[in-house]
Amino acid sequence: MNISRLQRTVFLLLLAAVTAAFVWVLSPFFGAVFWAVALTLLFHGVFERISARVGRRRNVAAILTLLLVILIVVVPMVLVGSAIIDELASVTQRVRSGEINFRAYFTQIVDAMPHWLTDQLGRFGVFNVQDAIDKISATLLAGGQALTTKVVTIGQNTLIWLVNLGIMLYLLFFFLRDGRALAGLIRRSTPMSEEQTQALLGKFATVVRATVKGTIVVALVQGVLGGLALWVVGIHGAVVWGALMALLSLVPAVGSALIWAPVAIYLLATGSIAQGVGLIAWGVLAIGMVDNLLRPILVGKDTKLPDWVVLLTTIGGISLMGISGFVIGPVIAALFMAAWDLFDQERGQLLERPPES
C-alpha cells in the first residue's frame, strides 16, 4: 500500500471531520454569524472611509463603524420591536374583551354579499356561509394566539436574544477589522483555482448586499405606507399592521396585499366605500408600485436572478431558516447558478484543449 496516499486520505478525513464538528459547534449561533457577515459586507465601504480618515488605525475604524451600526440599525430595531410588542399586547387585550370580534367582522362582509350569490354557492355546496365564518374566525383567532405566544416567547428569551446580539456585534468588529485577511485566507485555503474562488466570493458578497439593502428598503417603505394608510382610514393597531406588511413584503409578488386587501374588502362591505376604494387605490398604485419598481432595481439588477427564482428561493429560505432565509435563499440560488456557470466554462476549456499525445 502506498503510505503517502494513506496518510493523505487520513488527513483529508480528519480535516473533513474537524470542519464538520466546528460547524456543528457554531450552529446554535448561525444567525449571529450570518448577520455579522452580512453587516460586514454592507458597512465595509463605510469602514474603509472611516479608516482613511483616522490614519488607517483599523481598531479605531472598526469601533467607530460598530457604533454607527448600533446607532442606525440596532437602536431603531429595538425601539420598533418594543412598540410592536406593546401594540400587540393592546390588540390581544381587545380581542379577549370582545372589542375586536373576527366573527362579527366576517358576518358583516357576508351580509353585504348579494343574496343570489350566497344562495347559489350554498346550493352547489361550494360555500356554506356559517361554516366559512366559523373556519375563518377560528383560523384568525388561532393565528392571533400563535402570534401572541411567539411574542411572549421572545420576551421570555430576551437574554438569549441579547447574547446573540452581543455575539453578532463582537464578530462584526473582527470581521470589519480583519475582513481582507479572512477573505485572503479563504481564497488560499479553498481547493479551487483562485479565479473560481474569487468569482464565488464576489457573487456571495454582491447578492448579500443587494438582497439585504433592496429587501429591507422595500419592506420599510411598504410598511410605512401601509401603516399610514390604515391609520388614515381609522384601523386600530396601525403600527402592528404596518410591521406585518413590512414582514410580508419580504415575500416578492404577494407581500403586503395579504393585509391591506382584506381590510379594503371589509371597508367596502361595511359601507365605507370611500375609504375602501381609497385603500385599494393606495395599495395598488403606491404600495404595489414600490415592490414593482424598487425591488427589481435594488435586488434583481445586481443579483442577475430571474424574478421567479427570487420568489421561490425567498419563500423556501424563509420556510426553512426563518427570517434570515430571505437573504440565504437567494444567496444559495446565486451561488448555485454561478458554480454551474464556472463548471460550464471549465468544461468548455477542457473540450477545446488538444488531447495529450
Query: Tens digits of per-residue pLDDT, 50-65?
Result: 998 988 888 999 999 9
154 half-sphere exposure, CB direction, 13 A CA radius: 13
**Torsion of the alpha carbons at 341, 347, 349 and 352, rounded to the nearest 10:** -140
Instruction: Answer whether 104's CB lies under 8 Å from 94's CB.
Output: no
Q: Is the distance from CB of 333 to CB of 324 less than 8 angstroms? A: no
Q: Name the residue type at position 114.
A: P
> Could you give the residue ranges of the DSSP H alpha helices within 54-157?
58-69, 75-97, 102-112, 115-123, 129-156
Residue 124: the pLDDT is 55
Give the pLDDT confidence score for residue 241 in this predicted structure: 80
- pLDDT of the residue at 97: 67
Cα-Cα end-to-end distance for the chain = 30
Supply the angle between the helices 30-53 and 58-69 in degrees, to the nearest 10.
120
Report in angstroms the alpha-carbon separations of 256 from 203, 291, 339. 29, 10, 34
pLDDT digits (tens, 9 = 90+) for 145-172: 555 555 555 555 677 778 888 999 999 9
pLDDT at 357: 45
pTM score:
0.70
- Whole-angstrom distance, CA of residue 353 vs CA of residue 216: 47
Q: What is the DSSP string of 242-270?
A: HHHHHHHTTSTTTTTHHHHHHHHHHHHHT
Q: Which of 20, 13, 64, 37 is nearest to 211 (CA)?
A: 37
CB of 299 closer than 8 Å to CB of 280: no
CA distances from 239 to 85, 96, 101, 208, 258 (A): 10, 20, 19, 28, 16
**Local mean pLDDT, 10-residue blocks, the chain (357 residues):** 75 87 87 89 90 89 93 84 71 66 62 62 55 57 57 62 88 90 80 78 83 81 87 79 80 73 80 85 83 69 71 82 81 85 73 55
pLDDT confidence of residue 170: 93
74 touches 168 (CB < 8 A): no
